[in-house]
Homo-oligomer: A and B are copies of this chain.
């Protein structure tokens, strides 16, 4: 097989309807943004999916323009070209879930969709699934978790959820439909006692489902310790109760359950301090900001070596990301927690033909070449039109919340 050069790269920003899900920064806007990357190589197309925020999109476009002629097997060359094309750029993540921005974090986010697309192409070229390129699958299906949100009523079948009873109803609806075997509640929306009540109601309704609570750093250290004590025995893990590695370490020292994070350990630079402080016991991987699937596999090796647990984080995403997450999880022996996904909240909208499906709480690992998903050109065109029409260019849950509550201020911690 001679060099398989990249012929062209298409970058398409898209938007899809998003329900009014609440979190510690505000509320999801009516449209979620994503960027779809198509890397063409002869007859083959490799796919990637990433954030749609404009500063990021502009960097992705700059990167895309630099890839013609690159051999699809040359991942080191990919990073070199993107580094050269984007420079030492520092594009802040306005939503702020992954902490202060840095040039390294920015580069990792830009490289990721192209790395996934090249692995998709490599897999297609050699007739092997992407998981085979990551060391091979160690499981045939990947469990995902029911991701519960406090929410307002929206154009969805789930209705509002503002208290324990409605949260339990939402869980029942999601579990009925998808068979999830684990439950995660996005917290940080209401005072902690209300969210503890929701956890207790979930435990009563689902005595055997592992439960997680993720307030996105909405609590002080003292509040976090109190909540941890009051939820002893109820939670599989408590995710990001409080901001910062130092605060998390204070909570971790007293909490009866492990702490998890996708906010304080979000790049390789955060790991040594977290380990030294004992800030977290579980790291949520996310190939979109860790730099791709192979970088996530490196994170997995680190977690294994330091006896850190591994779970996986999700933002609003479509079927290319779901496939990439599934291949990564399939090939990562120590990713033993059910993976987060926003899939149910995308309400059946997708950009791929025949998306992978969640059944009995899990996605069957595809063994077809590459990622195993194919772009639906009509859906892409439609979602691209949404993007042009929707007027949103950067995710801003806080600003959107202010359109309903003018006095709303994002505060972490709030309680």
Chain A residues engaging chain B, CB cutoff 8 angstroms = 1-2, 71, 73-77, 125-128, 132-133, 135-138, 268-269, 271-272, 275-276, 294, 297-298, 301-302, 304-307, 331
CB distance from A304 to the nearest CB of B (A): 7
In the complex the two chains form, is B126's CB within 8 Å of A76's CB? no
In the complex the two chains form, is B1's CB within 8 Å of A127's CB? yes
User: Taking CB as reference atom, which chain B residue is nearest A136?
Assistant: B76
In the complex the two chains form, is A305's CB within 8 Å of B268's CB? yes
User: Taking CB as reference atom, which chain B residue is nearest A74?
Assistant: B136
In the complex the two chains form, is A76's CB within 8 Å of B137's CB? yes
* CB-CB under 8 A for A2 and B127, given A136-B76, A275-B272, A307-B272: yes
User: Taking CB as reference atom, which chain B residue is nearest A138?
Assistant: B76
Please give 17 more A-B residue pairs, beta carbons under 8 A apart, in addition to A75-B136, A76-B138, A268-B305: A1-B127, A73-B126, A73-B133, A75-B135, A76-B135, A76-B136, A76-B137, A77-B136, A125-B126, A126-B126, A271-B306, A275-B275, A276-B276, A298-B298, A298-B301, A301-B301, A302-B305
Assembly CA distance A304 to B332 (angstroms): 21
Q: List 18 A-B contacts (CB under 8 A).
A: A1-B127, A71-B132, A73-B132, A73-B133, A74-B132, A74-B136, A76-B136, A76-B138, A77-B136, A268-B305, A271-B305, A271-B306, A272-B307, A276-B276, A298-B301, A301-B302, A302-B302, A302-B305
Q: A1 contacts which of B2, B126, B272, B304 (Cβ < 8 Å)?
A: B126
User: Taking CB as reference atom, which chain B residue is nearest A126?
Assistant: B1
Assembly CA distance A125 to B135 (angstroms): 17
CB distance from A104 to the nearest CB of B (A): 11
* CB-CB under 8 A for A331 and B76, given A275-B275, A294-B135, A302-B301: yes
Set of chain B residues within 8 Å of A268, measured between Cβ atoms? 301, 304-305
Set of chain B residues within 8 Å of A272, measured between Cβ atoms? 275, 305-307
Set of chain B residues within 8 Å of A71, measured between Cβ atoms? 132
CB distance from A76 to the nearest CB of B (A): 3
Set of chain B residues within 8 Å of A128, measured between Cβ atoms? 1, 73
CB distance from A399 to the nearest CB of B (A): 36
Assembly CA distance A132 to B294 (angstroms): 13
Assembly CA distance A272 to B243 (angstroms): 25
CB distance from A355 to the nearest CB of B (A): 25
Assembly CA distance A46 to B5 (angstroms): 26
Set of chain B residues within 8 Å of A306, measured between Cβ atoms? 271-272
Assembly CA distance A269 to B71 (angstroms): 37
CB distance from A299 to the nearest CB of B (A): 8
CB distance from A343 to the nearest CB of B (A): 26
Set of chain B residues within 8 Å of A302, measured between Cβ atoms? 301-302, 305
User: Taking CB as reference atom, which chain B residue is nearest A122?
Assistant: B126
CB distance from A139 to the nearest CB of B (A): 10
Set of chain B residues within 8 Å of A2, measured between Cβ atoms? 127
Set of chain B residues within 8 Å of A138, measured between Cβ atoms? 76
CB distance from A209 to the nearest CB of B (A): 29
Assembly CA distance A197 to B2 (angstroms): 54
Assembly CA distance A276 to B74 (angstroms): 36
Assembly CA distance A2 to B128 (angstroms): 8
User: Taking CB as reference atom, which chain B residue is nearest A330?
Assistant: B76
CB distance from A270 to the nearest CB of B (A): 9
Assembly CA distance A275 to B271 (angstroms): 12
CB distance from A292 to the nearest CB of B (A): 11
Assembly CA distance A331 to B80 (angstroms): 13
Set of chain B residues within 8 Å of A133, measured between Cβ atoms? 73
Assembly CA distance A275 to B302 (angstroms): 13
Can you list the 10 inter-chain pairs with the closest CB atoms, starting with the nearest? Answer: A76-B136, A298-B301, A1-B127, A268-B305, A73-B132, A1-B126, A73-B128, A74-B136, A75-B136, A272-B306
Assembly CA distance A2 to B127 (angstroms): 6
Set of chain B residues within 8 Å of A73, measured between Cβ atoms? 126, 128, 132-133, 136
